[in-house]
């Protein structure tokens, strides 16, 4: 998912909410394990890659598995959670756990993760060096300036022994949390969307997968350092309202999303720009 919220109009969000309500999802039906397994499962998802992956499941796997799936595509990062919370949708697929935790805390919602599915990897890009180890003493490195992304960028460097972070520095770490910096790297904090355009003026930049793709970069081949999917807290998840994790339709969708067919589809379609996290 993109970690910077998109701004959407009230009318657009209201229109989608009406559309979801009209589709007759499970808001008034039994939830959790008692949900009707033959009822259509409505899932709200971002267009790329989430809805694409769900559409593949719907077109190729769902019918054989006995799952009726309805995919609702949205472009904002608020409606998917509010729709699941109010019952106008059964599940969503667009976010990672740090975003979900922050959303629940700020909005009083009770959305929970079911399974991780994929990662849109954060990467280090450079037009001046071929490897992070080639960065010179005092090199200037651009990092995103928002809390989620800056901590994620610094963790990527720390996980690869470029810097170390202070004990207890979590996902909201900033440059003030750097404990050791052997190369004396100079960090320039920029808006995440600006980093691809700033590469000419930097020795390296740490860029979100979606912004890399938007700028014509290919994470799998152009990044000089790339996040790994295994155990990554920023892997995108299938999520439901708390209490609905045992819904047989949700469990069936989770199984399909973790299938060998979906893994191959992700690998073949996105070629490293989206990585299966299972």
pLDDT over 90 (residue 273): no
Q: Are residues 23 and 115 in the same domain?
A: yes
244 vs 67: CA distance, rounded Å = 16
Average pLDDT, the chain: 89
Q: Are residues 220 and 259 in the same domain?
A: no
275 vs 228: CA distance, rounded Å = 8
Q: Under a CB-based contact definition with an 8 Å cutoff, are residues 84 and 90 in contact? A: yes
- Is 1 contained in some domain? no
| CATH code of the domain containing 220 | 3.40.190.10
pLDDT over 50 (residue 86): yes
Q: What is the pLDDT of residue 254?
A: 98
What total number of domains does the chain contain?
Answer: 2
- Is 85 contained in some domain? yes
- Is 4 contained in some domain? no
Q: What is the pLDDT of residue 24?
A: 45
Q: Are residues 107 and 14 in the same domain?
A: yes
Q: Are residues 14 and 115 in the same domain?
A: yes
- Is 3 contained in some domain? no
Q: Are residues 137 and 111 in the same domain?
A: no
pLDDT over 80 (residue 6): no
116 closest CA partner among 243, 261, 254: 254
Q: Higher-confidence residue: 56 or 4? A: 56
Q: Under a CB-based contact definition with an 8 Å cutoff, are residues 74 and 20 in contact? A: no
Task: Identify the band that residue 1 occupies on the pLDDT scale cut at 50, 70 and 90.
Answer: low
Q: Are residues 85 and 148 in the same domain?
A: no
pLDDT over 80 (residue 134): yes
The token pair at 103 is: 């959303």
Read off the pLDDT of residues 22-46 as tens digits, 9 standing for 90 and up: 454 444 445 788 889 999 999 999 9
Q: Under a CB-based contact definition with an 8 Å cutoff, are residues 103 and 239 in contact? A: no
Residue 140 structural domain: 123-226
Q: Are residues 237 and 265 in the same domain?
A: yes
Read off the pLDDT of residues 135-186 as tens digits, 9 standing for 90 and up: 999 999 999 998 778 999 999 999 999 999 999 998 889 999 999 999 999 9
| 197-206, 247-256, 268-277: the lowest-pLDDT one | 268-277
Q: What is the pLDDT of residue 2?
A: 52
- Is 196 contained in some domain? yes
247 vs 99: CA distance, rounded Å = 23
pLDDT over 60 (residue 13): no
Q: What is the pLDDT of residue 16?
A: 55
Q: Mean pLDDT throughout 114-122?
A: 94
Q: Under a CB-based contact definition with an 8 Å cutoff, are residues 212 and 125 in contact? A: yes
- Is 5 contained in some domain? no
Q: Which string of b and e fits 67-100 if b means at least 16 CB within 10 Å? A: bebbbbbbebbebbbbbbbebbbbbbbbbbbbbb
Q: What is the pLDDT of residue 33?
A: 83
Q: What is the pLDDT of residue 82?
A: 98
219 closest CA partner among 157, 275, 262, 170: 275
193 vs 210: CA distance, rounded Å = 9
DSSP one-letter code for 7: P
């Amino acid at each position: 998912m993109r970690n910077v919220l998109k701004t959407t109009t009230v009318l657009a969000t209201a229109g989608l909410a009406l559309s979801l309500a009209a589709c007759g999802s499970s808001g008034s039906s039994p939830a959790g394990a008692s949900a009707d397994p033959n009822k259509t499962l409505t899932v709200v998802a971002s267009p790329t890659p989430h809805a694409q992956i769900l559409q593949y499941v719907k077109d190729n796997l769902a019918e054989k598995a006995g799952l009726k799936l309805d995919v609702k595509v949205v472009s904002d990062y608020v409606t998917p959670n509010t729709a699941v919370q109010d019952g106008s949708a059964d599940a969503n697929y667009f976010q990672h756990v740090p975003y979900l935790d922050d959303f629940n805390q700020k909005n009083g919602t009770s959305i929970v993760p079911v399974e991780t599915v994929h990662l849109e990897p954060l990467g280090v890009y450079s037009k001046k060096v071929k490897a992070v180890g080639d960065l010179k003493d005092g090199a200037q490195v651009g990092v995103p300036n928002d809390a989620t992304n800056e901590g994620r960028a610094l963790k990527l460097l720390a996980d690869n022994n470029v810097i170390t972070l202070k004990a207890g520095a979590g996902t909201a770490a900033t440059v003030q949390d750097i404990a050791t910096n052997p190369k004396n790297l100079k960090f320039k904090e920029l808006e995440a969307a600006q980093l691809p355009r700033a590469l000419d003026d930097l020795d390296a930049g740490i860029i979100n997968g979606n912004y890399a793709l938007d700028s014509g970069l290919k994470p799998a081949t152009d990044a000089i350092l790339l996040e790994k999917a295994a155990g990554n807290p920023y892997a995108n998840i299938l999520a439901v309202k708390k209490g609905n994790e045992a819904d047989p339709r949700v469990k069936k969708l989770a199984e399909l999303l973790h299938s060998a067919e979906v893994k191959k589809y992700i690998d073949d379609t996105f070629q490293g720009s989206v990585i299966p996290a299972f």
